[in-house]
Amino acid sequence: MEGTRFPEKRIVLWSHPRSVSTAFELVFEERADTEIVHEPCARLRHRRSLQRVCPDPEVSTKRDVQQKIFWQLLGPHEKPLLFVKDMAYYVRRRYYDVLLPPMTNTFILRNPEESLISHYKKFSRFTFEQAGYAAMEEMHDYVTNTLRQPSVIVDGNDFRRHPTSVLRQYCHAVGITHDERTEKWVSGNVKGWEIWQHQGWHREAERSTGIIPPKESTPDVGLLPRRVRNMLPECRRIYEKLFELRMKPDDDPRYGMEVGEEVA
């Protein structure tokens, strides 16, 4: 393909559903040096159902899906930076050795009380696997213990409260520059997001024009059915394990000072 090259960096943001990952992705949509690939691995797990609602003539078989994903993640692109946003639970362990080593693997998570409530409102029949926390833990362990890559974790609410601080740290961790101008954007449809248009997963993000602070209220998990509430203890255990490893905002008084602030 004329004008293509192998990207200087390939960054993937692994997430679980309702983790604020699409807002994080929109920051990278604003970068002129970046090509975005949105949830390519979805068809690894949901090929048949997605073919019904969002058909792709290039992926009529499972082998087609695998080859297209490998090309999207590992092949040439037009821009020097490739940024992939995807769900960890889409990728079974047998794909780890192929897909993960060439990537700079990073993670975003959100407290399970908020994410499960939000998930339930969008898709009430989700399973523990689809809640996504177990896959996040397994993949993070592989990335840090097997690949020996640094742990790069963003908490979704940290990002919403302190976007500049978190983005600055994230960009430093993956070896790229940060531009605060990317924290605002024009609302509208985003290329690649049509894959989930039938369920409205990204409707709020497409209407947004910037990063919105979270509501400082306690989620009412009593609104969830017992089946979903039973998922909370294990999701909470995993969340707390990974939360302790996250990048802590510089401008949060609990964790330090804003960069450039002088000591009194």
Q: Is 209 left (phi over 0), alpha (psi -120 to 50) or beta?
A: alpha
Largest Cα separation within the chain, whole Å, is 64
What's the whole-number mean pLDDT along residues 32-41? 92
* pLDDT for 257 beyond 90: no
Is residue 21 exposed (0-12), middle (13-18) or buried (19+ Cβ within 10 Å)? buried
- Kindly calculate the radius of gyration of the chain based on its CA atoms and give it in whole angstroms: 18
Per-residue tokens: 131: 């809640």
For residues 183 and 199, give the distance between their C-alpha atoms in angstroms, rounded to a whole number: 26
- For the chain, give the mean pLDDT: 86
- DSSP letters spanning 209-228: SBPPPPP-S---GGGS-HHH
* pLDDT for 204 beyond 80: no
8 Å CB contact between 71 and 7: no
Per-residue tokens: 112: 């399970």
User: pLDDT higher for 189 or 258?
Assistant: 189
For residues 51 and 249, give the distance between their C-alpha atoms in angstroms, rounded to a whole number: 41
- Residues 153-183 have pLDDT tens digits of 999 999 999 999 999 999 999 999 999 989 9
Band of the pLDDT at 202, cuts 50, 70, 90?
low
User: pLDDT higher for 146 or 44?
Assistant: 146
Residue with tokens 């939360």: 243
The model's pTM is 0.87
